[in-house]
Structure 1
Amino acid sequence: MRIDRREWLRCSAAAVASLPAMLRAQSPPAVTGGVEHVASGSRGAIATVSEIATRAGLRVMEEGGNAVDAAVAAALMLAVVDGGNSGLGGGCFILARGVHGEVVAIDGRETAPAAAHGRMFFRDGRPDPSLSQTGALASGVPGAVAAYHRLSEELGTGRWRSAALAAAEQAAEGFPIDARYAARIASSAERLGRFEGSRKVFFDADGEPRKAGERLVQPDLAVTLQELASDGPDAFYRGRMAELTARWMQENGGMITEEDFRHYRIRHREPVESAFADHRILGFPPPSSGGIHVAQILGMLKRFDLASMYDEDPIAYYHVVAEAMRLAFADRAVWLGDPAFADVPRGLLDEEYLDKRSAMIDPEGRIPVVTAGGPPGVGVDLFGRLPRHTTHLTAADEAGNWVAITATVNTTFGSKVVIPGTGVVMNNEMDDFAIAPGVPNAFGLIGTEANAPAPGKRPLSSMSPTMVLRGDQPVLSCGAAGGPRIITATAQIVLRALALDEPLATAVAAPRIHQQWRPNELWVEQRLDQRIVDGLAQLGHSIRRSSGLATAQAIAITEFSGAEAGQITAVAEPRADGHAAAY
């Protein structure tokens, strides 16, 4: 039976009338527990998930480096202090703008080994998801090192060696494990404990998982970083790292070989561009699904007066946003994959197609059944065919360098494997392939043959480094960590900044929702007012509560930051221990 939302609202008119003012006051303070989540400066700014990494990036800028140098230094430092989320054994997508206006999209996504095949995760005729999530078969060939080095070479000022040495020094010196890091180790202890290299790093002399307050020293990782400082990516892809990894894989039933390392190449991609609220939106193209689906969500919401809706009827605002998410993720499941192997239609961003999808959204009721659409140009007009866990960091400087990097090893501590002698946590990105049609991965996402494993193929990703420009000038960049929630968190930050005219700190901190089509549930953060949650349930949404949906970092200039004129403002995620700094 269809719910009469108008009748329900009439019965709740007094409560609903008070929601807009309450919502405007819901954002948490910028500073929590002594951690700086917001920082503004006239010369440069950076935000990461770690205070140590943020300080490393800021120090580079203070010493004369640019925002690109700062971002690379922070990314390498995160490999040391935040190895459960990203690192040398993972991959990344980079969206960056140089001082002359050039925009680069560097694809450092992991690739499947040459021996990969469509039934590699089957046992006794049935798919076994544990094989794609833990152990030797779970890892793709890492791409982060090659991508960071290419970014440094193209847009930096020659500070690769000093950045790698600073990270090596931190690994050798160690750092105190905080409660959040200790909780990650504890939650992964059973699987980490299966592997000798992981036990050496994350367990103490008594064989117990390391606890908060202990100092985590990583001498093997320090040596690997020193080699990167001396010899660049060759030390990783043609040196000791490749040799030790291939040997371990052979001994433990894996597929990655030294040849796989030697053959790894980053890819330069053409950014996905769309328009929203008189601004240009740049996102990352396939094999990221993020750029396309952030653009789809924004495109489907263009026809709504979102600011008025939010002020007058916030239930309707959250409802239409959720429905746009649902429609985008239905397309993701069918159409998205590595464009070198799958036909990904450009028509997914066709304005007429998005208008048709948008017309399905009813502000007064949930779409009964959602399926993937039929975009124009299927099989003809395609994205460039070429012959939880994650982190996002962003940096900008007064000269006009802007960088957004989303990096990952996939789930916490990736495959749970540290290659002995290297200190490197290996990813489990093979789980981002569709190991079998209809079989969900660790994030509940399903896929088709377009995202099936194949030699050299890059698994579909939700990473969504995003840049907003007014004309040719960047005014905002953002991205997030959190599997498929990356897409929806990024879209909501852009919506709040551009459509609701909220300061960046408010846009990042505001309560989030998430809908990914399958499973057919609407996730809402616990801070979202219960009256809104009840209203969404009345509209037919199946509600799931969450303490936090994604971890985001963002940067904006004065127009969106609420700071003084001429300031660059960095905002780190207040839901986590993110840290922003500026000068």
Structure 2
Amino acid sequence: MKRPIWILSLLLVVCSHPCFAKAPFSNDYAGMAVVTEDGRGAVASVNSIASQVGLEAFANGGNAVDAAAAIAFTLGVVDSANSGIGGGCFILVRWADGSIEAIDGREMAPVNATQEMFLVDGEYDPSLSKTGALAIGVPGSVAALDYLLKKGGKLSWKEAVLPAVNIAEQGFSLGSHDAKRLARTASRLNQFPASAAIFLDKDAQAWGAGHVLKQPDLARTYQLLADHGSDYFYRGDFAKQVASWMRVNGGRVTEKDFAGYQVLLREPIRTTFHGYDIVGFPPPSSGGVAVAQILNILENFPLKQLTEIDRYHTTIEAMKLAFADRAQWLGDADFANVPKGLIEKSYAKALANKIDAAKATQVKGHSTPPKSTTDIFNRHTTHIAVADREGNWVAITTTLNTSYGSKVTIPGTGVLMNNQMDDFATKEGVPNAFGLIGYSANKVEARKRPLSSMSPTLVLKKGKPVLTTGAAGGPTIITQVVQILVNRLALDNSLLKSMEVPRVHQQWQPERTLIDPSVDESLRKGLDARGHQLADWPGFGTAQSIALENGRFVAVSEPRLKDRMSE
């Protein structure tokens, strides 16, 4: 298979980078955030191979849109536990002309989906929404990236896809983090022969660190995608292969479901915080609403003057209130009435008044925002941040849901499929894989998009973008983003410091509060004394951010990743 000259150039550039001193590519989950040598662009992603591909898009004359798309496609090869073309994404983009769009590439329930499909002999079986055919929704990432590139990219569709073809063909050396994740998931991957053939050895054991993972079927699928565009995926052979596998294995997704998939353009969530404009993603993301709601609550407190213990206590209590509302009110706004009052400042003030400064309080349930029935919105994960001097800022959060998604690889394609159906409230009041509870607003319905915690976020000052951030980590995405914004915008920390500060997470149910193991012992004791049930959480997601500081781009990849790699 011949490659264009620029691909050969890419190989030389990538292999000369310190992260890729040897061929094949070496997977590095310490993350990579870097500004281009000429200062005209910046990239941040969880994976150094992917970030380097983004830099090469800039070097080839592309902009932030091209770089972001190239990174996303590459992550589907080197970070397939978290993302890929078998999943979905939310894209929040600030175009060079100053307009902002929320591009909804979330997975969609098939037409034949029902709440009852997760019942066995009349009893709810939670495994069905997590593993196998019924867990799979119609993927949307390809369609969303297609829209993004066609509207604002400078390079061609092929130039965005082809770097990933080369990496899938040549292979990359698994890191210790890859090996650990595979080992944890091996027994479930082994249920599906096409997945086992890629990720496990002949004895059904997970490949270890140092193994060169080559994915020829995935390379072939990406090549066909590069050659024929998104129609190959949604109306061509790929859709037929998925539908064929579904028919044999009891799934619900059909060729018509693929052909009927549409990217939706949503009105972004907008609020203010300490003099900055905050732009987030609307439903079916719960992230934009919850981030805005928590920030609105916290704005009622003098955060900079509070002691550290007071600040953490107040933040935990605000999270608790917002997540209780999330469970009741949030869902796909095309199907459920999601009140706009959730992000009203007056409602946030009323919630802030419920916080007891001296002790943790029990939140028994949701509150009711103003005009809850009349003023409504229109009907495991990775984050990418890219910006350029032309004024394009792109925040993409993309996911298969839990690690390796449904664990299903469609035979002959190399593509892992999502298990996004578990993000619905498959049974009301029963926790999903992340412990989140939902009710009727997020019940399973045909062609509906499940609620997500993905929170791509843009920050503007006087109409100009100054920061973009987002994270991975299920519901901790929301609280990670909030704490980065508080530390940067309210406490005036540098971007790096804002991401290094120990994090907490409270999602209402279960009642425990997750906490960074690195917190100071005095803080831990202080929170414990106020009644917070603390649980150490060493794997606190992965955030990626880019900011303008003194007129220059600063890019920061999750600082915790480096420590995690040494575990």
Tell me the TM-score normalised to structure 2 length. 0.92
Residues 55-114 of structure 1: CA deviation (Å, up to 9, x unaligned): 000111122100110000000000000000000000000001111111111000000011
C-alpha distance in structure 1 between counterparts of 2:163 and 2:202, whole Å: 27
**Alignment RMSD:** 1.5
C-alpha distance in structure 1 between counterparts of 2:305 and 2:522, whole Å: 19
Q: Segments of 4+ in structure 1 off by > 3 A?
A: 33-41
| Aligned position for 1:268 | 265
- The percent of aligned pairs where both chains have the same amino acid is 51
C-alpha distance in structure 2 between counterparts of 1:161 and 1:492, whole Å: 38
| Aligned position for 1:340 | 334
| Aligned position for 1:566 | 551
Residues 399-449 of structure 1: CA deviation (Å, up to 9, x unaligned): 111000000000000000000011101000000000111110000001111
Residues 270-318 of structure 1: CA deviation (Å, up to 9, x unaligned): 0000000100000000000000000000000111111111xxx211110
| Aligned position for 1:481 | 472
C-alpha distance in structure 2 between counterparts of 1:358 and 1:116, whole Å: 40
Amino acid of the structure 2 residue aligned with 1:104:
E
C-alpha distance in structure 1 between counterparts of 2:524 and 2:117, whole Å: 42
C-alpha distance in structure 1 between counterparts of 2:490 and 2:124, whole Å: 44
Match runs of 1:270-285 below 5 Å: 270-285=267-282
C-alpha distance in structure 2 between counterparts of 1:280 and 1:260, whole Å: 38
8 Å Cα contact 2:87-2:140 kept in structure 1:
yes
C-alpha distance in structure 2 between counterparts of 1:507 and 1:487, whole Å: 15
C-alpha distance in structure 2 between counterparts of 1:98 and 1:176, whole Å: 36
| Aligned position for 1:286 | 283
Of 132, 146, 149 in structure 2, the residue corresponding to residue 135 of structure 1 is: 132
Q: Report deviation, 1:206.
A: 4.3
C-alpha distance in structure 2 between counterparts of 1:538 and 1:231, whole Å: 61
Q: Report deviation, 1:577.
A: 5.5
- Are 1:299 and 2:284 counterparts? no
Of 535, 538, 551 in structure 2, the residue corresponding to residue 544 of structure 1 is: 535
| Aligned position for 1:350 | 344
- SS of aligned partner of 2:67: helix
Of 55, 63, 69 in structure 2, the residue corresponding to residue 72 of structure 1 is: 69
| Aligned position for 2:17 | none
Q: Report deviation, 1:54.
A: 0.1
| Aligned position for 1:87 | 84
| Aligned position for 1:528 | 519
| Aligned position for 2:387 | 396
- Are 1:383 and 2:380 counterparts? no
Residues 184-211 of structure 1: CA deviation (Å, up to 9, x unaligned): 1111000000001101111124443211
| Aligned position for 1:321 | 315
C-alpha distance in structure 2 between counterparts of 1:412 and 1:138, whole Å: 13
Match runs of 1:3-18 below 5 Å: none
C-alpha distance in structure 2 between counterparts of 1:113 and 1:506, whole Å: 44
- SS of aligned partner of 1:394: strand
| Aligned position for 2:354 | 360
8 Å Cα contact 2:360-2:530 kept in structure 1:
yes
Amino acid of the structure 1 residue aligned with 2:479:
T
C-alpha distance in structure 2 between counterparts of 1:167 and 1:543, whole Å: 42
8 Å Cα contact 1:392-1:406 kept in structure 2:
yes
Q: Report deviation, 1:40.
A: 4.3
Amino acid of the structure 1 residue aligned with 2:54:
G
| Aligned position for 1:239 | 236
C-alpha distance in structure 2 between counterparts of 1:282 and 1:34, whole Å: 28
8 Å Cα contact 2:436-2:509 kept in structure 1:
yes
| Aligned position for 2:144 | 147
Tell me the TM-score normalised to structure 1 length. 0.90
Match runs of 1:140-219 below 5 Å: 140-219=137-216
8 Å Cα contact 2:332-2:448 kept in structure 1:
yes
Q: Report deviation, 1:354.
A: 1.0
Of 227, 232, 236 in structure 2, the residue corresponding to residue 230 of structure 1 is: 227
- Relative to structure 1, is the Cα distance of residues 166 and 480 closer, same or farther in structure 2, using a 3 angstrom cutoff? same
8 Å Cα contact 2:29-2:48 kept in structure 1:
no
| Aligned position for 1:405 | 396
8 Å Cα contact 1:327-1:370 kept in structure 2:
no
Amino acid of the structure 1 residue aligned with 2:393:
W
Mark the runs of 5 or more structure 1 residues left unpaired by the alignment: 1-32, 559-564, 579-583
- SS of aligned partner of 1:576: helix
Amino acid of the structure 2 residue aligned with 1:566:
G
Q: Report deviation, 1:122.
A: 1.3
Amino acid of the structure 1 residue aligned with 2:201:
D
Q: Report deviation, 1:36.
A: 6.9
Residues 304-340 of structure 1: CA deviation (Å, up to 9, x unaligned): 111111xxx2111100000000000000000000011
Q: Report deviation, 1:124.
A: 2.1
Instruction: Report which structure shows greater RCO (CA 8 Å, sep ≥6).
Output: 1
Amino acid of the structure 2 residue aligned with 1:335:
W
Amino acid of the structure 2 residue aligned with 1:54:
S
8 Å Cα contact 1:46-1:396 kept in structure 2:
yes
C-alpha distance in structure 2 between counterparts of 1:523 and 1:334, whole Å: 22
- SS of aligned partner of 1:476: strand
Residues 36-63 of structure 1: CA deviation (Å, up to 9, x unaligned): 7554452111000000000000111122
| Aligned position for 2:3 | none
C-alpha distance in structure 2 between counterparts of 1:372 and 1:163, whole Å: 44
| Aligned position for 2:4 | none
| Aligned position for 1:10 | none
Residues 205-261 of structure 1: CA deviation (Å, up to 9, x unaligned): 444321110111001111111111111110101111111111111111111111110
Amino acid of the structure 2 residue aligned with 1:514:
H
Mark the runs of 5 or more structure 2 residues left unpaired by the alignment: 1-27
Q: Report deviation, 1:35.
A: 5.3
| Aligned position for 2:433 | 442
- SS of aligned partner of 1:407: strand
Amino acid of the structure 1 residue aligned with 2:327:
A
8 Å Cα contact 1:80-1:87 kept in structure 2:
yes
Amino acid of the structure 2 residue aligned with 1:168:
V
- Are 1:453 and 2:450 counterparts? no
